[in-house]
Amino acid sequence: MADHSIPHFHNDPGVHSIKVRVKKFMCTGARPPFDHPHIFIDMGSDSETICSYCSTRYVYDAALAGICAPPECELRTAA
């Protein structure tokens, strides 16, 4: 999991959609310094949503082994 209390995801790879194992998260668009304002997304009862800034489609998948797919879309802070 990311080093945040709420997972943060980015779309540097430019994929059409990102599968996520959580329904509450932050979208950053890209990795800093090219990120958009970090927005909180709550899917609620929906199974997918689209970021209003970068148009990345997020799809909920409770069966994912990791926090997201592709896994490189999880934003981690440098250790």
| Strand residue runs (E) in the chain | 8-10, 17-20, 24-29, 39-42, 48-50, 57-60, 68-69
pLDDT digits (tens, 9 = 90+) for 18-29: 999 999 999 999
Interval 55-65: pLDDT, tens: 999 999 999 99
pLDDT score of 5: 85
**Residues 21 and 62 sit within 8 Å (Cβ to Cβ):** yes
Is 54 in contact with 29 (CB distance < 8 Å)? yes
| High-pLDDT (> 70) share of the chain, % | 92
Contact 9, 22 (CB under 8 A): no
DSSP 3-state of 27: strand
Q: Which residues of the chain have pLDDT under 50?
A: 1-2, 79
- Homologous superfamily (CATH) for 8-73: q5lls5 like domains (2.60.260.40)
The domain limits of the chain are 8-73
What pTM does this model have? Answer: 0.90
